[in-house]
Amino acid sequence: MPLSTSDRSLVEPVFRRLNVLRPLSAEARGLLEYAMVEGLQRAGPGEDLISEGDPVNSVRVVLSGWLCRYKTLEDGRRQIVNFIFPGETCDAHAFLLSVMDHSIATLTPAVYAEITRARFERLTWEDRALAEAFWCETLVNNAIQREWAINLGRRVALERVAHLFCEIFERLRPVGMTDGRSCNMPITQMDMADATGLSVVHLNRTVQELRASGLIVLRDRTLIINDLDGLRDAALFSPSYLQLYRLG
């Protein structure tokens, strides 16, 4: 199957990301690209791609749209435990365990590539750098998860929300989804509340406080960071856990 230009630009975020973690050979890129284009899928907003308790039989690579990992309590309380942005992989290795411990849902319309477990294992078996790149992704995810723990456990509301904005911005940047000091912010305040462990009402008031301080503008599904250093200070944000730069 020949690749169209639009397919190429669609899969580009994936390689941008993986390349930061491990330099990939042209062959590896070709094989992965081919596998992804064959498994292209679309989903609307608010769809569960996979739910807690489901067995895992494939790997999904997000090409466009925002997704989240979340868990819920019996009484409906929901916590978004991480976001998944274009170029990132859900569950690169989740099939090693028996079932999902959490759910994955789209927050916006999304395009992703679904690769069967067998095919994914063949790909990573044949190319060590590719395998390591995917493992590094999992490890970075782990690090993000830890940062979220301190965010939820030890930062106050204003710091938490500021930190969320810093993280989103820095994670979107390497895949080319920021524009100077602004980026798209296609999720609802409800989603932000569930990501920061706050109530919607208080999240809203906290966002207004950040607006009033002049650090950000959040309007029309767009986030503008007027003062990145200021926002970082307010958030006690230090991006090293994101492993944004080429490793040693």
- What residue ranges bind DNA (CB under 7 A)? 156-158, 188-190, 197-208, 220
- 118 in contact with a copy of itself (CB under 8 A): no
The answer to whether residue 229 forms part of the interface with a copy of itself (CB under 8 A) is no
For the chain, where are the alpha helices, taking DSSP H only? 5-21, 26-38, 117-126, 128-154, 157-172, 189-196, 200-212, 228-235
Residue closest to 53 by CA, chosen among 38, 71, 30, 66: 71
Q: Should residue 230 be labelled a site residue for a copy of itself when binding is judged by CB under 8 A?
A: no
Q: Please, which residue, 97 or 201, has the CB nearer to DNA? A: 201
126-144: burial string, b at 16+ Cβ within 10 Å, e else:
ebebbbbbbebbeebbeeb
**Quick one: which H or E segment has residue 72?**
strand 67-72
Q: Is 122 near a copy of itself (CB under 8 A)?
A: no
The 10 Å Cβ neighbour count of residue 13 is 22
Q: Which residues contact 47 (CB under 8 A, 6 or more apart)?
A: 105, 106
Return the number of the residue (9 or 138) whose C-beta is nearest a copy of itself.
Answer: 138
> Which tokens hold the place of 170?
């820095």
Residue span 175-214 as binding mask against a copy of itself, x where in contact by CB under 8 A, dash where not: -------------------x-xx-----------------
Q: Which of 59, 129, 70 is nearest to 105 (CA)?
A: 70
Residue 245: CB minimum distance to a copy of itself, A: 9
Residue 145: contacted member of a copy of itself, DNA, none (CB under 5 to 8 Å, by partner type): a copy of itself
Positions that interact with a copy of itself (CB under 8 A): 53, 69, 71, 73-75, 77-79, 81-82, 93-94, 96-99, 101-102, 132, 135-136, 138-143, 145-150, 152-155, 194, 196-197, 236, 240-241, 243, 247-248
